[in-house]
Structure 1
Amino acid sequence: MKPIKCKDAAKLLQHARDRRLDFSERVQLKLHLAVCIHCRRYQKQLDILDSAMARYRESLEMPSEKFSKQDE
């Protein structure tokens, strides 16, 4: 199995948020992350962004929900 470059690892990290990586992709990514601090940092940044977006989405209320809470 040929080692992947940072550019390829970044693409796999992004794809992993949208779909399940196949076995070969997961192995290549894990091996790359084991030796590359830059890509591990990038993965951590993506995780932080995902968490922030999830909290933001949770904080949003539909207008109908706001009105129904005021009526109670």
Structure 2
Amino acid sequence: MEAVPRMPMIWLDLKEAGDFHFQSAVKKFVLKNYGENPEAYNEELKKLELLRQVGVFLCWYKWNWFAKKSI
């Protein structure tokens, strides 16, 4: 394996996933393209936002844990 050149490791800054309010855009899309009442999807949109927030938090938490272990 010594004959295989190694690429230097570079450090990339961690991107932040701030608040992202997509519910109004999804509601407009549903009304325009499907002609349905967009308020019928409130519960599903809340669940989707909660899943996004949990995913962002877990990614951040694991990254911080890894960064602390590698120091």
The TM-score by the shorter chain falls in which range?
A: 0.3 to 0.5
Larger Rg: 2
Normalised by the length of structure 2, the TM-score is: 0.42
Q: TM-score, normalised by structure 1?
A: 0.41
Which structure's relative contact order is higher, taking Cα pairs within 8 Å and 6+ residues apart? Answer: 1
